[in-house]
């Protein structure tokens, strides 16, 4: 059974990520649909990215912003809201799931 985790500081990290993305030419609703908090992993996911190349560039921006968040993933999400590419970056490895180190 997994334990519930809540990290209020992720709200500030989300704001920092939105600002860094905008500074690098990635605008909310134009290039991506949302930046969501990943409390269980202590990280963020940028969802609804239109192009795979954008998702890779976004990951590079986030790695620079959060250098101690050592895990990441990029994948395509084809259902529900925010269809498109997803970029995840986080500190805590999820049990039973393999992610590449950033």
Q: What is the pLDDT along the chain (102 residues), one digit of tens a residue?
A: 356 789 999 999 999 999 999 999 999 999 999 999 999 999 999 999 999 999 999 999 999 999 999 999 999 988 877 789 999 999 987 654 555 555
Residue 76, classified by CB atoms within 10 Å of its CB into exposed (0-12), middle (13-18) or buried (19+), is exposed
Residue 48 lies in a domain: yes
Whole-prediction pTM value?
Answer: 0.86
Residue 14 lies in a domain: yes
DSSP 3-state of 15: helix
Residue 33 lies in a domain: yes
Q: Which domain holds residue 21?
A: 9-80
Residue 75 lies in a domain: yes
């Amino acid at each position: 059974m997994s334990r519930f985790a809540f990290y209020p500081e992720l709200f500030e990290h989300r704001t920092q990520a939105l600002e860094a993305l905008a500074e690098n030419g990635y605008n909310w609703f134009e290039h991506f649909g949302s930046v969501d908090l990943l409390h269980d992993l202590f990280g963020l996911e940028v969802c609804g990215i239109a192009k795979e190349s954008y998702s890779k560039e976004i990951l590079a921006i986030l790695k620079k912003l959060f250098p101690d968040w050592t895990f990441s993933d990029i994948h395509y999400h084809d259902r529900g809201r925010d269809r498109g590419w997803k970029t995840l970056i986080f500190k805590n490895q999820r049990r039973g799931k393999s992610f590449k180190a950033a």
